[in-house]
Structure 1
């Protein structure tokens, strides 16, 4: 196989039918290949040893270029090439209000179980609003409300226990809220959202690592923006101290929770029909 490559978005999805063009150092095109539905390029054309430029393009994405060295074997593995969706990158979406679409968003958390595996859960009932500041993007804000009783880990008895006073105590504290207090640039394509999380009546600061994945039109005449956010929190900080030590000091349930958010937001203060 002469050229192999894997084309992905920044959030790990395959970019099907991306086009890979290879030119030599004189700028002459020596190879052109198209990725398959899995975002994989595998072209059998052998290449002469030397340095080449690999350019990847795809509809709806910005181009990417890199340099590849072909050895005497005539083969080169360009590895994983990441394309940014148009509308993503260093900028947040256009300023103004955005409403999170819960039907196309996920609010989840991951906890360690028995010290050897992970248990995933999600909240199925939540609402959130985003305000992208027009001048200073760092003044943008987000507010979210989660109905604590909507926790779903795929196991009924476990969910019942999580709703009890040992954990979320949903009868006393039916809502979990998050209100941002600031936004800082954390890198060329990411931000840190600073905010206050209120759970079980306890308020603690929680930071979220945020990536804007892109902005574009939807089938209902609206404009949507996609985000991914991750963070960590310690449940003891919110008076959730229940645990069971099962062996050699290993806790049945980890005390650190990893927060994982996949968000779609619609421009404006109301959602279109979906």
Structure 2
């Protein structure tokens, strides 16, 4: 007899737990059945050699199927089966979507001493997404409190609030306002916009991934997005640095920004 293994995930790599895997032979008769584990992994065993269609299904996800030929007595891997969430390809409805800061995050990452990375989060922000029809006419506005910077070190955070970096006493807000949205494919978009930081405004595009839309626990409708970009500190008058051995900078000039957003339809 043969064994067939694999893993169920969402398209963005999260495991799908409790999914059902059914192996159907060439005549349409079910020959095996299993459930996915907490890590998304599954094993269908006791299968004779031959051709099978494996059907994967899980609550809240679109089903998927894959055909594979098994060799008698040999273990075979089906690899990863991706199950998109139901509604994952349904674009957000037109209207005003308020960003939920409790279920969203804005993180900046800088290179330290040319070796490792330091992460910091901006804890306080608010904003909205105005979804239009067509979607390309949508807009985004976000206001961030720079004094909410949190890098898990109080001394460093106090320095980040000074004129060397964010100068929060003089510039109490960071703002981002979009001025264009370009479709790459069904899930990927480029958001063009202007970032205003420390009194300087500059164009900063965001690479946006749409994560889907669905109901929440309180009767509302939510949409999820992630976005990334890189900015130069020099573009925003944040030029403080120290040079250490061989001219290596204490803090890299490029910041990587990672954003995860949940927004609620108003």
CA pair 165-35 structure 1, distance change in 2 beyond 3 A: same
Which residue is equivalent to 1:53?
53
SS of 1:158 mapped into structure 2: helix
Unaligned ranges ≥5, structure 2: none
Name the count of aligned residue pairs.
265
Q: Cα distance, 1:46 vs. partner?
A: 4.2
Does the 8 Å CA contact 2:32/2:45 hold for their aligned counterparts?
no
CA pair 54-207 structure 1, distance change in 2 beyond 3 A: farther
Does the 8 Å CA contact 2:171/2:199 hold for their aligned counterparts?
yes
TM-score, L = length of structure 1: 0.90
Does the 8 Å CA contact 1:21/1:56 hold for their aligned counterparts?
yes
TM-score, L = length of structure 2: 0.92
Matches within 5 A, 1:179-194: 179-194=177-192
Does residue 62 of structure 1 match 2:62? Answer: yes
Residues 96-148 of structure 1 deviation map (CA, whole Å, 9 limit, x = unaligned): 11001111111111112222221111111100101110x21101111000001
Which residue is equivalent to 1:219?
217
Residues 1-44 of structure 1 deviation map (CA, whole Å, 9 limit, x = unaligned): 81222222233322110112233445443322110122211233
Does the 8 Å CA contact 1:46/1:75 hold for their aligned counterparts?
no
Q: Which deviates more, 141-150 or 163-172?
A: 163-172
Residues 58-92 of structure 1 deviation map (CA, whole Å, 9 limit, x = unaligned): 11111223343434553221222222111212x42
| Distance across 2 between alignment mates of 1:128 and 1:137 | 18
1:139 to 130, 137, 149: 137
Which residue is equivalent to 2:205?
207
CA pair 267-18 structure 1, distance change in 2 beyond 3 A: same
Q: CA RMSD in A?
A: 1.9
Unaligned ranges ≥5, structure 1: 269-274
| Distance across 2 between alignment mates of 1:187 and 1:3 | 33
